[in-house]
């Protein structure tokens, strides 16, 4: 089969022919119809997350927002059959036995396998996946529409669900990209008043079209000062992988506000403890999501409450898409298709 393969960190992916994966007894073989390109793919490919670099499989097929159809199933698979439309998320497999799994936090499983990191992902024509963790796609969502929900969508959904914002509270979304444009919609669906912050006027206009009630341009001291002077936000969800976005978000929080850590800069972030204590600021990180979170995210999309804006590109252009994403030139989510 054809696949875009990472052989070494900081080198371009190579489009090449590789062996078709063979499903085990509890696996399915999925013909890939669409795979989203996530900012995490850039970090994995460059090896600039030290904690991840040591677990990355090489050679590796990237991609963890996979949507397609089951074309073969293992002998013990009962929950799926050939022809089923499924997605394969970041959480490729969890053990179900460790303490986090038993507590309902399978996304924190100590033995988890990660699609496009520790096992091959969806920048390919086919992918092998555990049937237990391949999630059915609602009939009224195309593969291209569904793919970004398997990481970008479920990640911001879990972050906002756990934040437990009250209706009418102010949510600041810092970074209106692949995750941010979905966060605007999910925040509105949860009843929050959404404030969008980005350096791009085009993306701020995009956020308005998705339901953001207010927009502010990051990098403009006067605009962010205005946001702070008008009361700030109850919750600041940072989808950007820039440390500066966290600094801006922290400064815009109301007292007793919550900083939602979703975007992952390569460098550490830090805040003055005296300001955190004096304003009782909370910080809460979110690690993608569980299968239950994913079911709920897909249901929300099936009901028409959220919709990923996608642009499709052929798999042969994977390197070009990743470069454009790194330069902030992608609006919404870029999705690769095998042809």
The chain-wide mean pLDDT, for the chain, equals: 95
Tens digit of each residue's pLDDT (9 = 90 or more) over 162-187: 999 999 999 999 999 999 999 999 99
| Contacts with 181 (C-beta within 8 Å, 6 or more apart), sequence order | 206, 207, 210, 308, 309, 331, 332, 333
Predicted local confidence at residue 52, as pLDDT:
86
Predicted local confidence at residue 151, as pLDDT:
97
- CATH, range 153-285: 3.40.50.720
Q: Read off the pLDDT of each residue in 313-334 and give the average, rounded to a whole number.
A: 93
Q: Read off the pLDDT of each residue in 308-323 and give the average, rounded to a whole number.
A: 97
The H-or-E segment that residue 257 falls in is strand 253-261
Q: Indicate the pLDDT class of residue 219, thresholds 50, 70 and 90.
A: confident
Predicted local confidence at residue 158, as pLDDT:
98
Predicted local confidence at residue 161, as pLDDT:
97
Domain ranges of the chain: 2-151+289-337, 153-285
pLDDT at 110 exceeding the cut of 80: yes
Q: What are phi and psi of 32, to 5 degrees?
A: -75, 130
Helix (H, G, I), strand (E, B) or coil at 65: coil
pLDDT at 237 exceeding the cut of 90: yes
pLDDT at 220 exceeding the cut of 80: no
- CATH, range 2-151+289-337: 3.90.180.10
| Contacts with 234 (C-beta within 8 Å, 6 or more apart), sequence order | 165, 169, 170, 171, 253, 254, 257, 258
Q: Tell me the C-alpha distance between 59 and 33, whole Å.
A: 22
Tens digit of each residue's pLDDT (9 = 90 or more) over 276-285: 999 999 999 9
Predicted local confidence at residue 36, as pLDDT:
97
Q: Indicate the pLDDT class of residue 230, thresholds 50, 70 and 90.
A: confident
Predicted local confidence at residue 223, as pLDDT:
84
Predicted local confidence at residue 274, as pLDDT:
95
Cβ atoms of 141 and 296 within 8 Å: the answer is no
Q: Tell me the C-alpha distance between 180 and 285, whole Å.
A: 16
How large a percentage of the chain has pLDDT more than 70? 100
How large a percentage of the chain has pLDDT more than 90? 88
Predicted local confidence at residue 278, as pLDDT:
94
Q: Indicate the pLDDT class of residue 267, thresholds 50, 70 and 90.
A: confident
Q: Read off the pLDDT of each residue in 238-263 and give the average, rounded to a whole number.
A: 94
Q: Indicate the pLDDT class of residue 265, thresholds 50, 70 and 90.
A: confident
User: Structure pTM?
Assistant: 0.94
| 259 DSSP β-pair partners | 236, 283
Q: Read off the pLDDT of each residue in 211-223 and give the average, rounded to a whole number.
A: 87
Q: Read off the pLDDT of each residue in 107-135 and give the average, rounded to a whole number.
A: 97
Q: Read off the pLDDT of each residue in 80-97 and give the average, rounded to a whole number.
A: 97
């Amino acid at each position: 089969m054809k696949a875009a393969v990472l052989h070494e960190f900081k080198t371009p992916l190579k489009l090449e022919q590789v062996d078709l994966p063979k499903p085990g007894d509890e696996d399915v073989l999925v013909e890939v119809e669409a795979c989203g390109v996530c900012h995490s793919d850039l970090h994995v490919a460059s090896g600039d997350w030290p904690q991840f670099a040591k677990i990355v499989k090489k050679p590796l097929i990237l991609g963890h927002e996979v949507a397609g159809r089951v074309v073969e199933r293992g002998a013990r698979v009962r929950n799926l059959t050939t022809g089923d439309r499924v997605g394969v998320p970041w959480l490729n497999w969890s053990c179900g036995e460790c303490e986090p799994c038993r507590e309902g936090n399978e996304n924190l499983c100590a033995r988890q396998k990660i699609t496009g990191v520790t096992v091959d992902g969806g920048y390919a024509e086919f992918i092998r996946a555990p049937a237990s963790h391949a999630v059915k796609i609602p009939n009224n969502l195309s593969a291209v529409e569904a793919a970004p929900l398997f990481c970008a969508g479920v990640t911001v959904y879990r972050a906002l669900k756990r934040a437990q914002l009250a209706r009418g509270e102010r949510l600041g979304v810092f970074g209106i990209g692949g995750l941010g444009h979905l966060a605007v919609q999910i925040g509105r669906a949860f009843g929050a008043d959404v404030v969008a912050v980005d350096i791009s006027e085009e993306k701020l206009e995009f956020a308005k079209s998705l339901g953001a009630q207010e927009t502010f341009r990051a990098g403009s001291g006067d605009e962010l000062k205005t946001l702070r002077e008008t009361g700030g936000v109850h919750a600041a969800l940072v989808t950007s992988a820039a440390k500066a976005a966290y600094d801006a978000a922290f400064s815009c929080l109301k007292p007793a506000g919550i900083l939602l850590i979703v975007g992952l800069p390569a460098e550490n972030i830090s805040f003055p403890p005296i300001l955190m204590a004096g304003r009782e600021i909370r910080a809460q990180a979110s690690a993608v999501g569980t299968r239950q979170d994913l079911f709920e995210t897909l249901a929300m999309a099936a009901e028409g409450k959220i919709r990923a804006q996608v642009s499709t590109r052929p798999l042969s252009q994977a390197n070009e898409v990743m470069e454009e994403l790194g330069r902030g030139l992608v609006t919404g989510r870029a999705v690769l298709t095998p042809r």
